[in-house]
Amino acid sequence: MPTPPPTGPLVTRDTLAADLRTLGVRAGETLLVHSSLSALGWVNGGAVTVVQGLLDALGPDGTLVVPTQSGHLSDPALWGHPPVPEEWWPTIRATMPVYDPRVTPSRGVGVIPEAVRTWPGARRSAHPHTSFTAVGPGAAAVTDGHAADCRLGERSPLARLEAGGARVLLLGAGYDACTSFHLAEYRIPSPVVEVGRPSPTGWESVREVSISSEMFEELGSDFERDRPVVQGYVGAARGRLFPVADAVAYAERWLPVHRPRDLDARTAAPGGPGPRRRP
C-alpha cells in the first residue's frame, strides 16, 4: 500500500520566520521555546529548519533558549514507561553514565531542542536533569550558574529568564510543557524529595523541591483567560506567546488554591522515565 502524500502545510525557513514575526516574536529578545515539530506541518529540513527560522526571527541580538532535560539519568525504581526489572536496578545505578553537558542527549522534550543542543556556539546549563540550552549573545547569562541542587528554582535559568524579561513561546506545545510554572513551585509551600542520580563519585541522592506538571493544562487555561497571551499560527501549529514573569506570578497564586494538597509528589526528574508524564 503506497504511503499517502503529506497533507502540509509546506513550511520553510522563510515562511516559519515570517509567521513568527507576524505572531509577535521580536528581534533582539530572549525567547524560551517549547515546541512540537509534528504540529507545524511538513517542514522542509525538519528541526534544523525550525531552529534557523527561530534564529532568523530573533536576529543576531536575540537569544533562543530551550529545555534540554535528561531525566533518564534517574533512579530506575521510578521508571514506568517502561519499567525495568527490580533485579536490574543496582546494576543500572552503578553503570549509568554521568551527565556531560557536551554529549548527554536530551529526552522527552522533542527533536527541536536536541537540534539546539548541538548548534554551533550553544551553551548548556549544568544541572544533570533539567538543563537548558541557549544560542545567542545572552546564552551565558541564561545558562551559567545552574545549581546542581536546584532543578527549576531560583538558581536555575528560569529565574534568570524571569528577571531578564524573557518570553515563552509555546510552538505547537501545550501548557503541560510550560516549565515556567515550575518556578512558582519553588515559591510556595512544596514538599522536598530525595532525587537519585549518577555522579563522578558514584550514585548520589540530593534533596530537591518536588515538582509536578499535574494540572498545568488547567492552570494554563485559566492563565490564558485572565492574562494577555498572544496567539496565532506558525505553519499549522498554534503559537502562544507571553512573558515568563506573567506565567510565574499567575502560577504562584493559582497553585495553592487549585492543586490538591494530597497530590502525589513526583520524585523523578522532568523528562525522564517515570510513572507520570514529564513536566
Q: DSSP string spanning 126-187?
A: --SSS-EEEESTTHHHHHTT--TT-SSSTTSHHHHHHHTT-EEEEES--GGG-THHHHHHTT
Instruction: Name the pTM for this structure.
Output: 0.92
Our separate counts of H helices and E strands in the chain read 9, 11
pLDDT of residue 46: 97
pLDDT of residue 268: 39
The distance in angstroms from the start CA to the end CA of the chain is 39
C-alpha cell belonging to residue 248 = 510565574
pLDDT of residue 275: 33
Is residue 266's pLDDT more than 90? no
**Residue 271 binned pLDDT confidence (cut-offs 50, 70, 90):** very low
Rounded CA-CA distance 202/79 in Å is 20
pLDDT tens figures, 143-175: 999 999 999 999 999 999 999 999 999 999 999
**Residue 79 near residue 273, CB atoms below 8 Å:** yes
Those residues with Cβ within 8 angstroms of residue 138's Cβ, 6 or more apart along the chain or in another chain? 30, 63, 164
- Compute and round to an integer the Cα radius of gyration of the chain: 19
The position carrying cell 515550575 is 182
- Indicate the helix (H) or strand (E) that contains 122: none
Those residues with Cβ within 8 angstroms of residue 43's Cβ, 6 or more apart along the chain or in another chain? 11, 12, 16, 37, 49, 50, 235
**Residue 2 binned pLDDT confidence (cut-offs 50, 70, 90):** confident
C-alpha cell belonging to residue 15 = 515562511
The β-bridge partners of 30 are: 63
Question: By CB neighbour count within 10 A (0-12 exposed, 13-18 middle, 19+ buried), where does 59 fall?
Answer: middle
**Residue 230 near residue 23, CB atoms below 8 Å:** yes
DSSP state of 216: H
pLDDT above 90 as % of the chain = 87
Is residue 272's pLDDT more than 90? no
pLDDT of residue 17: 98
pLDDT of residue 8: 80
- Closest among 151, 126, 152, 123 to 138, alpha carbons compared: 123
Exposure string over 161-177, b if 16+ CB within 10 A, otherwise e? bbebebbbbbbbbbbbb
- Closest among 265, 239, 244 to 132, alpha carbons compared: 244
Return the amino acid letter for 40.
Answer: L
C-alpha cell belonging to residue 81 = 514507561
Mean pLDDT value across residues 130-149: 97
Rounded CA-CA distance 40/38 in Å is 5
Return the amino acid letter for 215.
Answer: M
Domains in the chain: boundaries? 10-69+104-188+213-258
